[in-house]
Amino acid sequence: MHRTDLPNGLTVLSEAVPGARSVAFGAWVRAATLHEHPEQMGVSHLLEHMVFKGTRSRSAQEIALSLETLGGSLDAYTEREHTSYQARVLDEHLAEAAHVIGELIFHPLLRSEDLALERKVILEEISMVEDTPDDIIFDVHNRALWGDHPHGFAILGTRDTVKTLDVPDIRALHARAYHPGRLVVAASGRVEHEQLLETLRQTGWMDIPKGDVTPFPVDPVEVAGPHAEHIKRKDIGQTHIVLGGQGIAHGDDRRYAFALIDMLLGGGMSSRLFQRVREELGLAYSVHSFSSAYADTGSHGVYLASAPETAQQAIDAVREVLRGVALNGLTASELAAGKRQLRGQLVMSMEGVSSRMYRAATTALYGEPFRTIDELMALVDAIDEDQVRDVARDFFDPDRHILVSLGPKAVR
């Protein structure tokens, strides 16, 4: 991997992938939901939508056509800590991808007439989430876990905040955050680093001033204590449940042991939860674990959906599995099998140019060292039974978790 920190504050990373004929190109803005005030919840996501409504040189339709007509793709998303704009193109179209994303980030029009239209689109997006219980239950759990902290905010915002956000709010966020000093650019595939830098120079990225890089203030995280919450919904046929709590931060040395336990508990058909809840008891079609890591903290848990009359039995079975791991850790044979599985997942995840682009960006976004595949596998091999036991005890004890449910009947 190669890295260059340009004079205007832009951080540029690249990794050439031998044999690839395409390039994944992305830009990460260090501003998102975590940096919002409650009354402006959703403004980062709204800005991400608005930049696609037109730039100084392209209409919304021209933006949509720009890369798709070349066989490529263009996408964007808002997370808790970053807003990302990404493209995948043939290597010969790298300059076009850089130019389009540069226009979106630096030169959007942000017109009031577009906001009136896009506000309706996002309200529809909120309705779509509200109509999808296995989506909304995660927002419910975030609020229960983090309370009024921005980690608990809805990325889409609320109906009230989206209706009140206006062009000055969007332009203020753009002026504050969308400049090179808060940007990380990463590319992977058939690309050489000097070629990437020259492309950025030719497409105007190096001409934009650095901007204010004062860190956005973020309040310390406080996690709510164990409790249960239920939202009654009679119009659905299942009870949707999330049981979880605080997880591992990005820079935590225990992350690989955590990932191994999480994978063995709920990462696939061979996992303990799948085998117990679905295969042995037949109580759920979908049951799996999940986790998210941030700079200052993390979250994790188990999701399942079950008929109202069997939901309590299902979550009791989940607690039984979690409690067993929290008390006893993993057996030597499970640890060995988990290492093989995690090694395989790591290697296969790195065989795509988009995955390598994400990994390159992460080194800058979280200040992490770049590690080769062999170095990552060595970290997995170094996981031992004591470390697994400690992580399992500290994070997977269900008595420390928050339970949220959505459906006709509550569970406890």
CB 46 within 8 A of CB 122: yes
Angle CA 90–75–242, to nearest 5:
130
Cβ-count burial 364-395 (b if 16+ within 10 Å, e if not): bbeeeeeeeeeebbeebeebeeebbbebbeeb
CB 363 within 8 A of CB 1: yes
> Looking only at Cα atoms, what is the longest distance across the chain?
63
Q: What phi-psi label fits residue 372: left (phi over 0), alpha (psi between -120 and 50 degrees) or beta?
A: beta
CB neighbour class for 109 (10 Å; exposed up to 12, middle 13-18, buried from 19): middle
Tokens matching residue 111: 């017109």
Active site residue 48: yes
CB 245 within 8 A of CB 299: yes
**Active-site residue, from 48, 81, 96, 118:** 48
For strand 402-407 and strand 228-232, is the pairing parallel, antiparallel, or unpaired? parallel
CA–CA separation, 179 and 197 (whole Å):
17
CA–CA separation, 24 and 39 (whole Å):
35
CB neighbour class for 245 (10 Å; exposed up to 12, middle 13-18, buried from 19): buried
Going by the DSSP 8-state scheme, the letter that residue 368 receives in this structure is P
Angle CA 232–275–326, to nearest 5:
80
Q: What positions carry a catalytic annotation?
A: 48
